[in-house]
Structure 1
Amino acid sequence: MTELSVDVRVQVARWRNLLVDAARCGSLASPLAALSHPHWEPMELQALWWLRAESLLPVGVLAMRLGGLAMPRLSRLVDRLEAGGLVRRERSVRHDRRRVRVRLTEAGHALTDELNAQVQERMAKLLSPLQGETRSALMDILELWVQALTVQARTAEEVAEENAELASVPDELLRASAA
């Protein structure tokens, strides 16, 4: 484990304990986990919900959103949703035709409106123990946290891109630029 300050260790311990307590109350499960529909599996419903949230997703990103779902399983899931008229696959014409993205159809949008109502109801129940100003303060803090995570993720992506670019530069050029 990396070197952490005493303050950070105390906060991590507090957060861990809060998560354990929230789990004991049954409040830690994802509001997406229990989506239900008479015809569609929970994982298919989660895929639809993510497509509603993000409009158009490459299949690899959709697999990650679904917890790192293996590509063969994701392919079967998308096949089923496509056969049901809820999604359509799109190939990138400009870049690489092997790159496939998935988008909701009108029927998919209609179903995800129902799913979103289920998710919102579950989330409202999670927030209901808090009153007005306290609930608003929690949302403000969570927004700050997500903004910080977004900056951190972008920085990590930029470093990875720079490393990939450096890896593609021939060794002779690197030696010449260092001289």
Structure 2
Amino acid sequence: MTELSVDVRVQVARLRNLLVDAARCGSLASPLASLSHPRWEPLELQALWWLRAECLLPVGVLAMRLGGLAMPRLSRLVDRLEEGGLVRRERSVRHDRRRVRVRLTDEGRAVAEQMDAQVQERMGRLLAPLQGETRSALVDILELWVEALGAQARAAVEADEDDAAPDVAPDELLTASAA
């Protein structure tokens, strides 16, 4: 934290204290944390919820959405969901057939809709203590924050791609390969 300005450090301390206080009120748990269904485990339900939100996910991305789940455990989870008729695996035929993506079936989408209703109910309870304009202002600020996080992530990816690019210009590569 040595690179942060005094103003940012004060705001970080305030945010930390707010998060601690929110946790004390029991409001910090993820709305996905304890989804309930008579047949499916909470982690399986979270996977369905993410697939509903993003339609089609590579297995590695799904693992990250589920908190960095190890691939063997994710494979077993997807196996159970596939056997239950909730998801199907798809292999890329154009690129690398080893790339596997997961998609909801119609039955899986129905269960995911039920889970989304639970998530929305929990989120509604979190926002309910605020009045209309205050609640709207909070959501507006959170949207700005998420946009800024997205821009920061895109810039980091572009920087990584620039670092991975060869130092030689494309014309120099063609000249070298022709020689």
TM-score by length of 2: 0.92
CA–CA distance in structure 2, aligned partners of residues 133 and 68 of structure 1: 37
CA–CA distance in structure 2, aligned partners of residues 58 and 66 of structure 1: 13
CA–CA distance in structure 1, aligned partners of residues 88 and 2 of structure 2: 45
Match of 1:8 in 2: 8
Match of 2:111 in 1: 111
Question: One-letter code of the match for 1:6?
Answer: V
Alignment: residue pair count: 172
CA–CA distance in structure 1, aligned partners of residues 161 and 84 of structure 2: 38
Match of 2:164 in 1: 164
Question: Where do 5+ consecutive residues of structure 1 fail to align?
Answer: none
CA–CA distance in structure 2, aligned partners of residues 100 and 17 of structure 1: 42
CA–CA distance in structure 2, aligned partners of residues 29 and 48 of structure 1: 19
Would the alpha carbon gap of residues 167 and 101 (structure 1) be closer, same or farther in structure 2, given more than 3 Å must change?
A: farther
Match of 2:61 in 1: 61
Moved over 2 A (4+): 164-169
* SS of aligned partner of 2:31: coil
The alpha-carbon deviation at position 132 of structure 1 amounts to 0.2
CA–CA distance in structure 1, aligned partners of residues 44 and 165 of structure 2: 37
Q: Note the alpha carbon deviations across 1:87-138, whole angstroms, 9 max, x for none.
A: 0000000010000000000000111111111000000000000000000000
TM-score by length of 1: 0.92
CA–CA distance in structure 1, aligned partners of residues 168 and 135 of structure 2: 49
- The CA RMSD measured in Å over matched residues stands at 1.7
Match of 1:143 in 2: 143
Question: One-letter code of the match for 2:103?
Answer: R
Match of 1:44 in 2: 44
CA–CA distance in structure 1, aligned partners of residues 91 and 9 of structure 2: 47
**What is the 5 A alignment of 1:79-98?**
79-98=79-98
Identity %: 81
Match of 1:152 in 2: 152
Question: Where do 5+ consecutive residues of structure 2 fail to align?
Answer: none
